[in-house]
Each structure stands twice: as C-alpha cells, then as structure tokens.
Amino acid sequence: MHMMLPKRSSSWLVLLAGTAALAACSAHPDMKAASPRSASATDTATGEVAKTSRTDKASETAAAAQWAGPHAPIPAADTAHPHLDGDRNAHDNTSYASAIRAGARALPKWPAPPTLLTGSLLPAHRIVAFYGNPHSKKMGVLGEYPEQQMLGMLDKTVAEWRKADPATPIIPAIHLVAVVAQGDAGADGGWRRRENAQTIEQAYNWAKSRDGLLFLDIQAGHSTLQQELPLLLKYLQRPDVHLGIDPEFYMHYKREGVRPSAKVGQMMASDVNYAIQTLDKLVQENHLPPKILIVHRFRADMVPDAEDIHPTPRVQVVMDMDGWGQPWLKFDSYRDYIVAHPVEFTGFKLFFHNDTRKGDALLTPDEVLRLLPKPLYIQYQ
C-alpha cells in the first residue's frame, strides 16, 4: 500500500541529503555533478495521509508498556500527554502526539525479533552515527568539517544522548557512503562511484578512535547489490563494520534508465533479503558477532513490501526514517513509513542544516526518545 505525504508538504517535499551529494560530486575529482533535485523534478506523490483515529489514552499506555527493555516507553504520563520541548508550534505537537499514539498501538503487534545471539548490539544499545563522505562537504557532516572538529561534534552529540537516556549504552559510529550514486553513467554504465580503500580505512580509523562502529553504505545507482556488496565483504569481515543500503538511489524496477536523483528509486524485500543472507553467511563462516543492516526510507514505495523482509539472529535490521523537513513532517514520516510497516528495529535521521532551514530548532534527544518504538539507531547528516 502506498502511503501519501500530506498535500501541504508538496511545496517542500521530504528529501535526502544524498541528493545534495550528487549536486556536490564535483568536490572530488572522480565525481561528476548532477542537477540538484527539486520538487518539480521528483515524483514524490501528494495526497491525504490517513487520519489517525482517537483511542483511549489509558489503553494505549497499557499496550505500550508491553514493550520491554530498551524499547520500553517513557513514563505513562508523558506517553499519554506528549508535548515537544521549547517553542514548537501546534502543528508539530499534533503530529508528534499522533506518531506516539500510532507507535503505542503498534507495539503489541510488533514482530518479535529473532533469538538474540551473543554479541548482538540491539536492543541493548543505541547507536549514534555521523553520516557522509569526506570528499563532499554537501553530502554530510563527515565531509563538511575538518577531522578533529567533526569528531569533537560526534563526542558532544553522543554525550547528549547519554544524558537523555543513561540506561541505554551509546555506541558512536561513522556512517560512510562507500558506493556513491553519480550524475553520469561512467565507463560501465553503473551511475555510481566506488570509494577507494584509503578513504574506507580513514573512516574506519575515525570509528576506532571513538571505540565505535563503521557503517558502509551503498547507493548502487544502476548497479546492483549483487555487484557492489561482495566488494565490501573484506571490510565487513571485521566485527565492528556494518552495512547500510539506500533504496532512494537503486534505479531498478520502475526506475530503469532513470538518472539517480531524478526520481526516487526503489528496493524490494528480495533485495534487502539478499543483503541479509549475504551478511548472515559472512557472520556464520567467519564466526563474527551479529551484523546490523540499515535500510533508509522516507516513502512507502521505496520498499513497498517491507513486511516481507526477514531478519535473522545473525543480521539485525533497522528501518531508518531518513527524510528531512520540519518536525511535523518528520513525525508523520516516522508514523507512516516506519511504524506502519514494522520490520525489526527503528532509526531516526537528523539533518543539521536541512531540518533547520525554516527556522526550526533541531530535534533534541529527549524529543526523539518519546517516539514509539524508541529509535535505536540515530543518524546525523
């Protein structure tokens, strides 16, 4: 089922900063620039989001209480009467309450995760990651700031999350786009650039310097996961390296022949399950702790059959709410594209610049932590 964005969002659609990366590809000599995406160039659908019916607050709070461990909801009073911090407007607060109510209703029916194995990081930890590519200032925080300044910002952000939820250990992470969608086809027609070993090792050393994790992300363009993922397995054999995949830049199915960023791409559950099975085999054969797979999503049709994704005990799957915009639109997206299509664990992405371009303050850890299920993967771009 295709969930629509509200009509009032059609003038400034939820977009990914990965698109900005394409516009900024000239920052690296191997990258070719593409035109920045605009609302008129993207086929993001508009229409009414299904209205959330009001339900008894007490019953919702009781249902939410069934979700144990680090997913446990905030105290009942806060769940029943959620309110954003500071000077958020009424629209933001209405969407916030709607998202929390939807999460509370969803928790009792949420898929039970596979049996936890020794070394599983979720749900006992929360991961706070900085995203991007050091060759592009517009692609995210990894390339926007000098190394030590960026790492200092990561330290500060991790400390904020530790303060907001002292009961859940925080693991810092570097999330590197290792296969970058491109604005032209390239010699092999793949419309992507593979990052060099030096850059991957640099990102790995950043993660190691913080006792953290490295995520390698794939924007495959017109290539495929079957072509790109095997080339990263030598890094994924390390116990502290994990994987991200980005449907926005997967130009197959209804997007064959379309330049990345001109249209929003699509993955099917079969693509995600291929990544899961590949990682599962890697873990099993190399006696590794379980891997984490991040799947980015800000529209329902980016993974239209998400309910058919099958996590395993060796591969924990996070559906990451990846859109940017004002707080109300981020809450609507979390409700409609993550909560409404449960897989396993959930993530929430924050954009230092794009989320604040209309004057809104960046969402705080306390505000994000009231969402249900509580996101266990937090990404900053």
The pLDDT value given to residue 159: 98
The pLDDT value given to residue 82: 75
Q: Where are the domains of the chain?
A: 56-380
The pLDDT value given to residue 85: 81
Length of the chain: 381
Q: Please give the model's pTM, rounded to 2 decimal places.
A: 0.83
* Contact partners, residue 172, CB within 8 Å, separation at least 6: 127, 128, 129, 154, 155, 158, 207, 210, 211, 212, 213
Burial of 80 (0-12, 13-18, 19+ CB in 10 A): middle
The pLDDT value given to residue 37: 27
CA distance 226 to 235: 16
Residues of the chain short of pLDDT 70, as ranges, are 1-81
The pLDDT value given to residue 31: 31
**Tokens found for residue 15:** 């977009």
* Contact partners, residue 228, CB within 8 Å, separation at least 6: 179, 192, 194, 218, 220
Bond before 123 cis per omega within 30 degrees: yes
Please give the span between the terminal C-alpha atoms of the chain, in angstroms, as a whole number.
29
DSSP-based three-state secondary structure for 340: coil
The pLDDT value given to residue 61: 39
List the beta bridge partners of residue 312. Answer: 315
How many alpha carbons fall within 13 Å on the CB side of residue 287?
0
The pLDDT value given to residue 83: 79
The pLDDT value given to residue 79: 53
> Nearest to residue 183, comparing CAs of 369, 63, 35?
35
The CATH code that applies to domain 56-380 is 3.20.20
CA distance 128 to 167: 15
The pLDDT value given to residue 300: 93
- E-assigned strands of 68-162? 126-132
Radius of gyration of the chain (CA): 19
